[in-house]
Structure 1
Amino acid sequence: MGTAGILYILAGMTAISVNDMLIKQLSGNYPLHQIVFVRSGVGILFSLILVQAEGGLSILKTRQPFLHLLRGLLVVVSNMTYFVALAVMPLADATALFFAAPLFITLLSIPVLGERVGPMRMGAVVVGFGGVILMQRPWEGAGSLEVSRLVLLLPVISALTYALLQLMTRKLGATTRASVLAVYIQAMFILVSALFFIVAGDGRYTDGVTDASLIFLLRAWVWPSEGDWFYLIGLGLNSAVIGYCLAQAYRLADAATVAPFEYIGLPLAVLWGWLIWSDLPDWEVWAGMALIAGAGLFVFFRERTKARVIARAEVKARY
């Protein structure tokens, strides 16, 4: 099961990198809620096909509707904060800051799961958050930054809500199919983006707004050009792949096995940024990326080693 979980997480992270690239590419012409609505509308159709293949529509029934609702809201907040930042930040910068999520997972496992975190793992978490602070460039004045301080914090907020989401996925995944989890997520995206359309779909809140990230969030809906329909439909198919692969990965394998492979997203983000926008990270981003990734990988491998030691001790205790 561990190998299958790794393959699913690699496929999911590759799909996420393509998703981020396409949304950044489309962010100059369409509002975020329109992109999300079309993407999720297409994605839910593919997800329902997977539901049918895994047991039929009857498996959509749940005894934990509140937890699914909360999980859906966390996904929406995580995605919205990340994509609003992505519209105005280099892809590699936003992705690197988002990878603070494993560090948040370690911290949140203390109050949420009652886990004990030793001094070595806690030290790694501190080092990782040092990388986050480095990428915030606290020594620079607000006027010399390419984006505002708030925008720099958005991927970190996205990472925090994603960490909460993964803790819930592990709990729900024990009794819920990956395709069902994907359908609930797509349905929540459709609902929230439809509400955005009702409130701001005519672009009324963009008058006098100059911030590019806010314009991306509040711009009026427009009919997509013929060439963009291909990208929007591709986003929908891609979102179904993401939702299914991530849920399946964390269902089939423990987080300590799967999570380190999420870091494939960092080199992919750098690659897309270089190929499409000719962006290469500044030294602060390279350094912050190394600290965040190094700390996250240390935490995961430390957890894995600790789990093996405990398992061996339990086996010996039986004899």
Structure 2
Amino acid sequence: MTLPRQNLAGLGILFVLVGVFCISINDLLIKQLSGGYPLHQIVFVRSGIGILFSLMIVQYEGGWGILRTDHPWLHAMRGILIVIANMTFFVALAVLPLADATALFFAAPLFITLLSIPVLGEKVGPLRLTAVAIGFAGVVIMQRPWADTSALEVSRIVLLLPVLSALTYALNQLLTRKLGVSSKASAMAVYIQATFILVSVAFYVVAGDGRFAYGATNGSVIFLLRAWVWPADSDIWVFAGLGVNSAIIGYCLSQAYRLADAATIAPFEYIGLPLAVVWGFLIFGDLPVIEVWIGITLILSAGLFVFLRERQKARVVARGQIKGAINGGVKRHPSVCITTFPVA
């Protein structure tokens, strides 16, 4: 029996807002730790703590039985995609300003809206497609393709890493939408945390002694491959906070994309952009250059338009359903729930 997909837009939006706020805190903490610890050690500790909290939520949502799945390979693919998304973003974050890396990563909601057409069969009209194109123009501007490589603070490969992260993150969230029909959010969070643990252990076995980092001068490579070290007392609480934060992120984002259409949820992830600018300025004293400001403006404008267009569509559908119910000619599908979410 196939279960109907839920479309609880208001609740999905709430979950994605909480998840994105926690992501901004996660990125801030990892950037702070990137100067003294290897990425795979941070991921291992974060996910080891996070999986414990996720298992607690599993008990609350139905017990160990909900961890059983008929789609283990799809869950494995989802886990690998999110690991790639995280690793590529964090490696770039070690050398890029927080706002720059986050702005480039925010091609993800654009990818999600675009890929929801072939992957999920969702309808995205020409106006929203135009908005997506404008958003991608912002991403290109932030890449500064006209600039000489020597004029850039980092290599072009590093600038492309957050975009690769965005693409793999988008594919992960679309899989979340498909798998969310039959899997609880807490179970999917456990699968993700377990994948992170396995990958970080593999990194430790291969490169945990730091031998591949010897002689390296690139900050991203050093962050990825340096040797494990015991955390300083002042950093233990940071690691613990990352673990708790990781559990909240995994649960909230899984719930968001289970409960609402991808094209509805994706634009709300843009709240991470102004948060990254604020944290980058307050903690690291960084402010984006003019190209990044232009890119952020284009991406935010595109995301806002997509959201307003989706909101307009929802109202039209709701009016049609009400009219049909009055006339007795339309039967509301049980999987559809239109929720009006007020804009402040």
TM-score (norm 1): 0.95
Match of residue 24, structure 2, among 17, 42, 56 = 17
Task: Quote the sequence identity (%).
Answer: 69
| Structure whose residues are more often helix by fraction | 1
- The equivalent of 1:260 in structure 2 is 267
Deviation at 1:271, TM superposition (A): 0.9
Per-residue Cα deviation, 1:126-175 (whole angstroms, up to 9, x for no partner): 21111011001112111110111000001111111111111111111121
Alpha-carbon shift at residue 279 of structure 1 (Å): 0.6
CA distance in 2, matches of 1:117, 1:245: 25
Q: Is 2:177 aligned against 1:196?
A: no
Give the secondary structure class of the aligned counterpart of 2:231: coil
The answer to whether structure 1 residue 170 and structure 2 residue 177 are counterparts is: yes
**Could you tell me which residue of structure 2 aligns to residue 230 of structure 1?**
237
**Matching residue of 1:209:** 216
- Return the alpha-carbon distance in structure 2 between the equivalents of residues 106 and 209 of structure 1: 39
Report deviation, 1:251. 2.2
- 1:105 Cα shift? 1.5
Aligned to 1:145: 152
- 1:53-73 residue CA offsets vs partner (Å, 9 max, x unmatched): 111111111111011000000
Whether contact under 8 Å (1:109, 1:115) holds in the other structure is yes
Give 2:310's aligned residue. 303
**1:74 equivalent in alignment to 2:81:** yes
Report the Cα distance in structure 2 between the residues aligned to 1:303 and 1:9, rounded to whole angstroms.
16
Does the 8 Å CA contact 1:256/1:301 hold for their aligned counterparts? no
Letter of the aligned partner of 2:58 in structure 1? V
Structure 2 letter corresponding to 1:91: L
| Length, aligned pairs only | 319
Contact 1:34–1:193 (CA under 8 A) maintained in structure 2: yes
Name the amino acid aligned to 2:251. Answer: Y
Verify: 1:83 aligned to 2:85, yes or no.
Answer: no
C-alpha displacement of 1:316: 5.3
Q: Which amino acid aligns with 1:79?
A: N
The equivalent of 2:166 in structure 1 is 159
Q: Specify the alignment match of 1:110 in structure 2.
A: 117
Q: Is the 8 A contact 2:15 2:253 kept in 1?
A: yes
Contact 2:103 2:273 in 1 (8 A): yes
**Could you give the per-residue CA deviations for residues 88-147 of structure 1, whole angstroms, max 9, x where no partner exists?**
001011111111111111221232234454332222122111101100111211111011
Which amino acid in structure 1 is aligned with residue 60 of structure 2?
A
Q: Is residue 270 of structure 2 the alignment partner of residue 246 of structure 1?
A: no
Query: Partners in 2 of 1:222 and 1:129 — Cα distance?
Result: 40
Deviations 1:224-244 (A, max 9, x none): 111111100110011001001
1:1-35 Cα offsets, whole Å, 9 max, x none, are 44332322221111101000000000000000000
Q: Counterpart of 1:28?
A: 35
* CA contact 1:48–1:179 (8 Å) conserved in 2: yes
**Cross-structure match for 2:338:** none
Aligned partner of 2:106: which letter?
F
The yes-or-no answer on 1:47 pairing with 2:42 is no
User: 2: distance between equivalents of 1:166 and 1:241?
Assistant: 16
Distance 1:46 1:210 in 2: 37
**Structure 1: runs of 5 or more not aligned:** none
| Alignment-derived partner of residue 333 in structure 2 | none
Q: SS state of the match for residue 22, structure 2?
A: helix
The residue identity in structure 1 corresponding to 2:90 is F
How far the C-alpha of 1:209 sits from its partner, in A, is 1.2
For 2:16 and 2:127, the matched residues in 1 are separated by 26
Q: Is residue 138–residue 298 contact of structure 2 (8 Å, CA) maintained in 1?
A: yes
The answer on whether the counterparts of 1:39 and 1:235 sit within 8 Å (CA) in structure 2 is yes
Conserved in 1, the CA contact under 8 Å of 2:113 and 2:266?
no
Counterpart secondary structure, 2:115: helix
2:193 is matched with which residue: 162, 186, 197? 186
Give the counterpart letter for 1:290 in structure 2: T
Q: Distance in 2 between matches of 1:249 and 1:113?
A: 16
CA RMSD of aligned residues (A): 1.6
Are the counterparts in 2 of residues 31 and 220 from structure 1 also a CA contact under 8 Å? yes
